[in-house]
Amino acid sequence: MSQVRKVAHQGCVNRIRSMPQSPHIVATWGDMGYVQVWDFSSHLNYLAESEDDTSRREALIFNQAPLSMFKHKDEGYAIDWSPLVPGRLVSGDCKNSIFLWEPASGTKWNVDNKPFAGHSASVEDLQWSPTEANVFASASVDKTIAIWDTRLGKSPATSFKAHDADVNVISWNRLASCMLASGSDDGSFSIRDLRLLKDGDSVVAHFTYHKHPVTSIEWSPHEASTLAVSSADNQLTIWDLSLERDEEEEAEFKAQTEDKVNTPEDLPPQLLFVHQGQKDLKELHWHAQIPGMIISTAADGFNVLMPSNIESPLPPANAS
């Protein structure tokens, strides 16, 4: 039987993120406009030390004051901890404002009252650079992605149109820091080489496999060319951008299947795996320690999956 600890939260939780350097420190975005930072160390310690037997305390909802809180003018979803500066945080709201949080101590934060301004619509996602401590990226309903440098003031260092519809999510590659992935409301997702921004067209790959909004996208922490995507079409897909079409292998596969299934030429060669069975997929994350393992959340629960055919891109498999 699983062990559970519940903490009361003011309003609905829109998004939650733990600090990479101190995972017991957690930031939440709420639907009442508040971003709150919490210390969950006591709850994590309890779970780590508890036995398998259930306890009535699991049914309790603990009333705990947040370490810090800040009210935006509207609710939001965009939030990210810096992977390089412990405690540094950015939060973005539906009124297109982005605020920088700087740690004042282990339990206090100072929030700059002057927001970063540059988007003309809701800020949907934020990602810190994995290599530059003062640089982060933002994605917006205004169809653009902006790159910001906190040393250069409150305007973006650069901004560009990324999709033909809302940009819902972005992911900065931790193993190849020049690569930024983005997913759109039209179901497409793109890969950009940020080194090519000055030349104009930085898109190195663009996929339209999904036909409904992309809800989550994340690069693998173990393979620089691999990323996972979830969509409102109730599919989670895994992609390897290093793969190219092998015509001989496709011909052999087609001969063996006798056209009874979708042939490889009908699918992108980079598509490794398709996971189905969840409804209204919301978010996915790769396991930090176990290569290939993913957890995905949806309206009907969450799945933990680890594809067994990840070595072979042909054909994509369905899993539940």
Q: What is the pLDDT of residues 295-309, one digit of tens each?
A: 999 999 999 999 875
pLDDT tens string 99-111: 999 999 878 999 9
Token digits of residue 292: 């290939």
Closest by Cα among 144, 257, 161 to 201: 161
pLDDT of residue 56: 55
Amino acid (one-letter) located at 15:
R
pLDDT above 70: residue 70: yes
- Give, in order, the Cα–Cα distances in Å from 196 to each of 52, 118, 163, 204: 53, 22, 17, 9
Distance CA 80, CA 54 (A): 34
- For 40-72, letters b (16+ CB in 10 Å) and e give beebeeeeeeeeeeeeeeeeeeeeeebbbbbeb
pLDDT of residue 49: 87
pLDDT of residue 315: 42
Mean pLDDT score of the chain: 90
Band of pLDDT at residue 1, cut at 50, 70 and 90: low
pTM: 0.88
pLDDT tens string 180-219: 999 999 999 999 999 999 877 899 999 999 999 999 999 9
Among residues of the chain, what percentage have pLDDT more than 70?
Answer: 87
Band of pLDDT at residue 159, cut at 50, 70 and 90: very high
146, 158 Cβ separation under 8 angstroms: yes
Distance CA 278, CA 212 (A): 15
pLDDT tens string 209-238: 999 999 999 999 999 999 999 999 999 999
pLDDT tens string 260-275: 444 445 789 999 999 9
6-7 and 61-62 strand pairing: parallel
Distance CA 226, CA 245 (A): 16
Amino acid (one-letter) located at 226:
T
Question: What's the alpha-carbon Rg for the chain, to the nearest Å?
Answer: 21
- Residue whose pair of structure tokens reads 């999510």 in the numeric block: 169
Cα angle, residue 173 at apex, residues 167 and 179 outer, rounded to 5°: 70
pLDDT of residue 263: 47
- Residue 102, helix vs strand vs coil: strand
Closest by Cα among 130, 127, 129 to 92: 127
Burial of 289 (0-12, 13-18, 19+ CB in 10 A): exposed
Token digits of residue 17: 């993120």
| Element spanning 46, H or E | helix 41-49
110, 89 Cβ separation under 8 angstroms: no
Return the C-alpha torsion angle 27, 29, 34, 36, nearest 10: -10
Other C-beta atoms lying within 10 Å of the C-beta of residue 312:
12
214, 235 Cβ separation under 8 angstroms: no
